[in-house]
Amino acid sequence: MIVAIGADHGGYELKEAVKVYLESKMYKVKDYGTDSKESVDYPDFGLKVAKAVAEGEAETGILICTTGIGQSITANKVPGIRAALCLNEDQAKFSRLHNNANVIVFGARYTDEDKVKEMIDVYLTTGFDGGRHQRRLDKIVEIEKRYKK
């Protein structure tokens, strides 16, 4: 599985740890930056990861910023992206079971490396339940179409 990862300066250190962890688990990682703690703009990195997932360059994505909010807002602007900001394993699990999330987002301010590894494990190994949940996702697609410019 190819995992696209990205962060702004607020998530840079955690992203580096996530990369090492994913590679140790034999995932192929595409790192879309940022590459240092120098201040950058989170939408630049949220867009790169969301685009990679939406266009099939990666099967799933991981985004990090300080709060996780900016990356969530950014990624969810890209049609086909279902980005889930998660704080715990239960949210990570349900983001897949019910929402078929294709990007998971973390706020570095509110979590730590161990917690993130646990959430990633659950996120990457849980499938989508389908059924009534697919009907709900179809409604989100209709919303995307209705507001398409």
Residue numbers annotated as active site = 98
Per-position x/- string for 68-87, each x denoting binding to ligand RB5 as judged by CB under 6 A, each - no binding = -xx-----------------
Distance of CA 137 to the CA centre of its chain: 17
Distance between CA atoms of residues 108 and 30, nearest Å: 20
Distance between CA atoms of residues 131 and 99, nearest Å: 11
- Nearer residue to ligand RB5 within complex by CB, 79 or 110: 110
Token pair belonging to 46: 């949220």
**By the rule CB under 6 A, 31 interacts with ligand RB5:** no
Beta strands in 47-144, from DSSP E residues, in sequence order: 60-65, 83-85, 103-107
- 19-27, 60-68, 114-122, 140-148 -> range binding ligand RB5 (CB under 6 A): 60-68
- Which listed residue (60, 67, 99, 111) binds ligand RB5 by CB under 6 A? 67
- 12-20, 64-72, 82-90, 111-119 -> range binding ligand RB5 (CB under 6 A): 64-72
- Nearer residue to ligand RB5 within complex by CB, 54 or 108: 108
The SS3 call for residue 18 is: helix
